[in-house]
Amino acid sequence: MTFMRLSCSIPDSQLPKKMLQYAMRYYSTRNRNNSVNFAQAALSGLAPDGGLFVPQEIPRYPPTAFFSLGAMSYPDIAFETIKPYVRDEIPDSTLQDIVRSAYTFDAPLVGIGDRFILELFHGPTAAFKDFGARFMARAFAYLRRGEDKPLRILVATSGDTGGAVADGFFKVPGIFVTVLYPKGRITPLQERQIAGLGANISALAVEGSFDDCQRLVKAALADEGLKKKMELSSANSINISRLIPQAAYYTAAAIRSAADNTGVGITLCVPSGNFGNLTAGLYAMKMGAPIKAFIAATNINKTFPDYLSTGEYQTRISQATISNAMDVGAPSNFERMAAHFSLDEMRRLILGVSVSDEETRETIVKVHGETGYFLDPHSAVGWKGVDKLLAKDNPNSRLLSEGPVGVLSTAHPAKFSETVEPLIGPAPLPESLARAMKRTVQSQTIPAEVSAVIEILNKEDA
Q: Which of 83, 129, 183, 415 is catalytic?
A: 129
* Exposure of 63 in the CB half-sphere (CA atoms within 13 A): 2
Shortest Cβ 237–ligand PLP spacing (Å): 5
Question: In the annotation, is 302 catalytic?
Answer: no
Shortest Cβ 132–ligand PLP spacing (Å): 9
Is residue 415 classed as helix, strand or coil in its secondary structure? Answer: helix
C-alpha separations of 310 from 299, 347, 389 in Å: 18, 11, 18
Restricting to residues 243-302, name those near ligand PLP by CB under 6 A: 271-277
Alpha helices in 288-375 (DSSP H): 303-310, 334-340, 343-349, 357-371
84/276 with CB nearer ligand PLP: 276
Sheet holding 151-156, edge to edge: 231-234, 151-156, 175-182, 201-207, 444-447
118/326 with CB nearer ligand PLP: 326
Of the residues 200, 299, 301, 410, which one makes contact with ligand PLP according to CB under 6 A: 410
| Per-residue binder mask for ligand PLP (CB under 6 A), 98-127, x = binder | -----------------------------x
* Amino acid residing at 90: I
Under DSSP, the state recorded for 52 is B
Shortest Cβ 172–ligand PLP spacing (Å): 22
274/354 with CB nearer ligand PLP: 274
C-alpha separations of 50 from 28, 222, 320, 335 in Å: 8, 8, 27, 11
Of the residues 46, 226, 232, 325, which one makes contact with ligand PLP according to CB under 6 A: 325
Of the residues 87, 115, 122, 129, which one makes contact with ligand PLP according to CB under 6 A: 129
d(CA 377, CA 383): 10
Transcribe 312-338 into DSSP letters: ----------SSGGG--SS-TTHHHHH
Q: What are phi and psi of 96, to 5 degrees?
A: -60, -45
* Amino acid residing at 228: K
Is residue 35 classed as helix, strand or coil in its secondary structure? Answer: strand
Alpha helices in 259-326 (DSSP H): 276-287, 303-310
Shortest Cβ 326–ligand PLP spacing (Å): 5
Shortest Cβ 28–ligand PLP spacing (Å): 20
Of the residues 268, 411, 427, 429, which one makes contact with ligand PLP according to CB under 6 A: 411
d(CA 435, CA 276): 28
Shortest Cβ 272–ligand PLP spacing (Å): 4
Shortest Cβ 99–ligand PLP spacing (Å): 20
CB atoms within 10 A of CB 101: 12
> CB of 354 within 8 A of CB of 298?
yes
Q: Does 185 participate in binding ligand PLP (rule CB under 6 A)?
A: no
3/53 with CB nearer ligand PLP: 53
Of the residues 89, 160, 167, 327, which one makes contact with ligand PLP according to CB under 6 A: 160
3/103 with CB nearer ligand PLP: 103
Catalytic residues, by residue number, are 129
Name the residues that contact ligand PLP, by CB under 6 A: 127, 129, 160, 237, 271-277, 325-326, 378, 410-411
